[in-house]
Structure 1
C-alpha cells in the first residue's frame, strides 16, 4: 500500500506479500480477504448492478412466451409481485455490506428460476421444455458473468436446479423427457462452476501478484528516497551536505526569482580550527563541529532558512526573503552564541571557539545563485582577514562590516 494507507491495510498488504500466489482463497488470512474485498468491492458492486438491471429487463422478456402459452395475465402478475421486487431489492443492496449484497443478488436469480419454472408448469406441454431450459440458460449465464465467487454460484445453481427438478417431477413424473430436462438444467446450472472455480483461482493469483508487485515498488521507492536523503546528509552533524544544500538552494533561488524577493547566503568558517584539533584532539574537534552546526541550524531555521556543512570546518546557510538588516542580526546572533559554547577537556582548560561569517544579500533578479555564493565567500575571506570572530555583509553595491 501507499505510505498514507491506513495501518491495518498496510499490515494486510504485508501479509499478502508473504503468501504463495497459488494459495487458495479460503486459506488466506482474514485481513488479506478484507483487503481484497476493499480493493475490488467497487468493481463487484458495479458488475452486480449491471447484472441485476439485465435481470430486471429479462423479467419482462419472457412475457412473449407467456402470451404464446396463453398465461400472459398470470405471468405478468407473478413477475410484478415476485421478480420485480426481488431485482429492485438486489439493485438497492448493491452498495450494502458484501454479505447482504451477495445474498440479495443470488436470491433474485433463485426467485427468477422459481417464477419461470412455475409458469412453465402452468403453461404445460409443449411450452414446459422451453420454460425449464430457459431457467438453465439464464442461471448458467449468471454464474459465468457474476463477479461473485464459486461458493455463491454453487448455492444459486443448486437451488435453481432443485426448483426445476421438483416442478418437472410434479408435472411429468419420472419420465425420460423429464430426465432430459433435469439433466440439461443441471448441466447449465452446475457445469459452469468448473469454469468459475478456474476463474476464481486466476483472479486470486492475479490479485496477490498485483499486491506483491505494488508493495515491492513501494519498498523500492522508499529505499531510493532513503538513499537520496543519506546522500544529501552530513553524517557528523546531521545537516545537509553540499549536495543537499545545492538541491534546497536551487529551489529557494527559483522561488525568490519568481517573486522577485531577496535571498541571503552565509558562509561560516570556524576560526583556528586546526589549532583547536591539534590541542584537544579529533574527538573534541568533531564535538565542536557538531555543536556549532546545531547552533547555526537553530538560528537559521528560526529565521526561516537552512544550513549545511560543506566539509571540514566550513558551513553554509541560506535565508529566503530576509532583508540586509535581518540577515546581519541573524549572523551576529550565530557569532555570539558560538562564542559562548564551552567544551570540557580532561586535564585542560575548557575550550572555546569562534566563527567568521561572510554574508551576501541580493535580489534573485540581480545576481545568480552561484554569484551569491561567490559574493558570500568573498565576504568570509574579508572577515577572516580583518580579525575573525566577526560578520561581513556584502550586498549588491555596498559592504557592511561588524
Structure 2
C-alpha cells in the first residue's frame, strides 16, 4: 500500500475530446445504472423523500469534489463512485432502531473506518486480509434477493416489466455497457405511461439539502457500519485499485482512503453514505479507450466529476420520480443492474476449494434475512463463514 504514481507511462498522440467523451460516458453509465438503488437504500433505512434526495445530492457533490481534485493533483484517472453494494446492503437491512439519523450515524462510522484504513496501514492490511471468498459470498448474499426482483416484476406486472427486461437483454447482446441505462430509459417510459406522476414534478427542480443529525446506535453500527465498510472495501476500493494497476497506474492509497472517508463523513450530515473508488466505470477513464496517452486519462476522471455536479442538481427530480413509481419496477431495474455484480461475487466465492463450504454458508446466511440482536444477516454471514473456515482449518491441521 505504498504505491507511487502511474507506471509505466505511455505517451502517444490523441484527440483531447476523447477523454472528455469517456468521462461523460462513465458518468452517464454510472449514474443511470444505480441511482435507483441508492434511493431505494435510503428509503429502506427510513429516509423521507426529501432526505433521500439530499443524500443523493451529497453523494454526487462528494464524488465530484474528490474525483476532480484528486485526479488533477495526482494526474491519475481516479474515478470516484458511490457504494452501490453498500446501497444494496441498506435495502436488505431495512429500518434500524433510531430511524434515519441512526443510519446516518452508521454511515459516519463506516466513513471513519475508511479514514483509519488510510492513516493506519496495519488496519488497512487487516481489512485486506479478510478472505476474498467470504467477502464475495457476503456480497452475493446481499445481492441475491434484489436480483430476484426482475422475475417478480414480470410475474406481477408483465406488460410493464417484460419490455424492460427484453430491452436489457437485447442491449446486453449488442452494447453491454448501455444495457442498464437503456433499461432505465425503458422503465421511465413504462412508468410515465402507467403512473400518475406528481403535477409539480418539474415545478421546482433544484435540490433542497436537508440537514441530518447522525446519532450513534450500537445495532446500526454493527448491522450497517461494519458490513458497509467491508463490502465497500472489498467490492469497490480493492477492485478499483486493481483496474488502475491493470492500466499501469499505482497510486498511493493513503490520500484516496483519507479523502473519500472524510468527504463521506461530511456528506452524512446531508444524508449521504460512502463514496469510494469506482470499480465498474473505472476502466472507462483509466483504459486505452479514454486516451492512448496514459498521462492524459486523468482528464476523463475529472470530466466524470464535473458531470456529477449536473446530476447533483437533478437529485430532487430523480427522488420524486422514483417515489411516484411502482416499487416493483424500480426493484426490477435495480436487480438487472446488480446481476453482473452477483455473478462476479458468486464466482469469486466458490473459486477457492478451501473456502468453498464456508463461503456457501456465508452466502446462505447473508441471503436469509436473519436478524439477531438487531444485527442484520450480512454481518452474521461473515461471522459464521469465518468460524466454519477456522474449524475446518483446525481439523485439517490436526490430521
| Structure 2 length-normalised TM | 0.23
Per chain length, whose mean CA-contact separation is higher, i.e. which structure has more relative contact order (CA < 8 Å, sep 6+)? 2
Higher helix share: 2
Which structure has the highest strand share of the two? 1
